[in-house]
Amino acid sequence: MPNDRFTLTRRATLAGLGAAIAPLAAPAIRPAFAQGAPIKVGVLHSLSGTMAISETALRDTVLMMVEWINGKGGLLGRKVEAVVVDPASNWPLFAEKARELLQVHKVDATFGCWTSVSRKSVLPVFEELNGMLFYPVQYEGEEESKNIFYTGAAPNQQAIPAVEYLMSADGGDAKRIALLGTDYVYPRTTNRILRGFLNSKGIGDADIMEEYTPFGHSDWQGIVARVKRFAGEGKKTAIVSTINGDANVPFYRELGNQGIKAEDIPCVAFSVGEEELAGIDTKPLVGHLAAWNYFMSIKGTPNEEFLKLWRAYIKNPKRVTNDPMEATYTGFRMWTQAVEKAKTTKVDEVRAAMIGQKLMAPCGYEEEMLPNHHLSKPVFIGEVQADGQFNIVWKTPSVVKAENWSPFIPENANRKK
């Protein structure tokens, strides 16, 4: 890893809106818990290695929500306890830790994973042992499991709208696209979908550049130089980044070193949010873009309540919120609602109760858990500001239903959406 990677200090209706917000405040006096074993939730996030830069904040979010629910008297009158493990950005270790959570600690639900390779690693474990995983990060789709609830975005809720924006007059009218990604399943599958989408819009393969680098990659000089040459061939060009983890730090630095400005070659990122920007010089990034379903800068009571809860828990005014944190929060809230509806933590009963759960989320929209285990979500595109926050330049007028099977993957195009 680069020596100067940023360090983690660890870092609808009005009635419905009111109902969603009211429970956030914990009572001044903690009620006593009913007798019986605590309800356990697993926390399966990398606290070390290349992905710790992104995942540690999600650990903190789950711990915040455990404190919140216990402040309300727990679930079903029982205390909720978090069991935290560190799979250390090691994909096989994710599966081992998932098995530990389910078989040794006997957790009732797990909140975890960031990369798709980590999710793919644990999926057979959760299916074999009938566990329940809440996965809070945007991903490539082409998957559906009865044991996973996907609270991040599907491609039609992030990648496709972002590229449509880049091709629009407001987004720069791009005619060439450089697809830069980390070398694993999420970037490769997402870019396969995007290539199919671009082809359908008349952008041929000659106008699409595609390159992949390993996790933790630090030497971007040659790749950025190739992007500059690619952009210098007479057509408006944009970068679509599916680069993950701490490799983003030297990547954006190199954009600045080579004078690539947002007004010339805009870059839209799918895995860079407020947390990733918190420890770096954002001046070279100003005007570049990110596509998410939530930004910390969103106005409105739901986000104000989320920020209030976070600040009261973390006690550090410099700590930010971001999209996967909001997705973790939303998944946790919906899980508690489903447990209360089912009157049990048994996976089969809670799974059935999850479908149709609704929440006025911090993004300011009412989100709903769909039968395909994905959420309806809004889409936002934001410009990086000098303070590390995002100015929202585009958003959908309403929520978008997740399509986890893309029409641009021919072998899955006819599967049930």
**pLDDT tens-digit readout, 218-255:** 999 999 999 999 999 989 999 999 999 889 889 998 99
Q: How many domains does the chain have?
A: 2
Q: Answer yes or no: is 26 within a domain.
A: yes
Q: Where do we find the tokens 């899980």?
A: 335
| Assigned domain for 7 exists | no
361 lies in the same domain as 278: no
Tell me which residue range forms the domain holding 197. 156-297+380-412
Same domain, 116 and 131: yes
The tokens for 361 are 């989320």
Q: Which of 172, 193, 179 is nearest to 226 (CA)?
A: 179
What's the distance, CA 348 to chain centroid?
Answer: 26
Cα 289 from Cα 393, distance rounded (Å): 9
Give yes or no: residues 216 and 349 share one domain.
no
79-96 burial, b at 16+ Cβ within 10 Å, e below that, comes to: bbebbebbbebbbebbbe
Whether 6 is in a domain gets the answer no
pLDDT tens digits along 175-193: 999 999 999 999 999 999 9
Q: Look at the block and give the residue holding tokens 């000659």.
A: 206
* pLDDT recorded at residue 278: 84
Encode 68-98 in three state secondary structure: HHHHCCCECCECEEEEEECCCCCHHHHHHHH
SS3 377: strand
**Domain annotation covers residue 117:** yes
Q: Please tell me the number of Cα atoms within 13 Å of 207 on its side-chain side.
A: 18
The owner of tokens 């990060």 is: 137
Which pairs count as long-range contacts for 199-208, CB under 8 Å and 24+ apart, including other chains?
200/408, 201/167, 203/167, 203/175, 203/176, 203/177, 207/175, 207/176, 207/177, 207/235, 208/176, 208/177, 208/178, 208/179
80-85 β-sheet, strand order: 80-85, 39-44, 109-112, 133-135, 148-150
Do strands 358-360 and 133-135 pair parallel, antiparallel, or not at all (unpaired)?
unpaired
The pLDDT value given to residue 3: 36
- Give the pLDDT of residue 416: 62
The answer on 292 and 162 residing in a single domain is: yes
* Within-domain flag for 103: yes
> How many other β-carbons are positioned within 10 Å of the β-carbon of residue 343?
11
Within a domain: 219: yes
Q: What are the backbone dihedrals phi and psi of residue 32, each rounded to the nearest 5 degrees, phi first?
A: -70, 145
* Half-sphere exposure for 75 (CA within 13 Å, toward CB): 30
What stretches of 72-184 show up as alpha helix (H) in DSSP? 91-99, 116-128, 159-167
User: pLDDT, tens digit, for every residue of 81-137?
Assistant: 999 999 999 999 999 999 999 999 999 999 999 999 999 999 999 999 999 999 999
* Alpha-carbon distances of 153 from 13, 45, 158, 197, 340, rounded to whole Å: 24, 18, 6, 17, 26
Domain with 140 in it: what CATH number? 3.40.50.2300
Based on the domain organization, do 138 and 221 belong to the same domain?
Answer: no
- Single pTM value for the model: 0.89
Q: Is 87 in the same domain as 200?
A: no
Residue tagged 């090691």 (tokens): 90
Cα separation, 93 vs 162, whole angstroms: 33
Structure tokens, 49: 């290695």
Sequence-ordered strand ranges (E) for 176-303: 176-182, 208-213, 237-242, 267-269, 289-292
Beta carbons of 238 and 178 less than 8 angstroms apart: yes
Q: Which residue is listed with tokens 């809860």?
A: 309
- End residue of a domain, out of 332, 347, 368: 368
Residue 77 and residue 331: Cα distance in Å, rounded? 20
> Is residue 9 in some structural domain?
no
Same-domain status, 96 and 163: no
Tell me how far apart the alpha carbons of residues 337 and 189 are, in angstroms, rounded to a whole number: 33
Q: Of 368, 389, 404, which closes a domain?
A: 368
> What parts of the chain have a pLDDT lower than 50?
1-23, 25-29
Domain shared by 271 and 203, yes or no: yes
Residue 154: what pLDDT?
A: 97
| Distance, CA of 151 to CA of 132 (rounded, Å) | 13
Q: What is the CA radius of gyration of the chain?
A: 21
Give domain status of residue 338, yes or no.
Answer: yes
Ordered DSSP codes for 283-344: GGGTT-EEEES--TT--SHHHHHHHHHHHHHH--TT----HHHHHHHHHHHHHHHHHHHHTS
Both 276 and 287 in one domain: the answer is yes
192 shares its domain with 253: yes
Mapped onto helix, strand or coil, the DSSP state of residue 103 is: helix
Tell whether 200 and 315 lie within a shared domain.
no
Q: How far is CA 5 from CA 47, 53, 250, in A?
A: 15, 9, 8
Same domain, 215 and 291: yes
The span from the CA of 319 to the CA of 360, in Å, is 23
pLDDT at 14: 32
Q: What is the pLDDT of residue 274?
A: 93
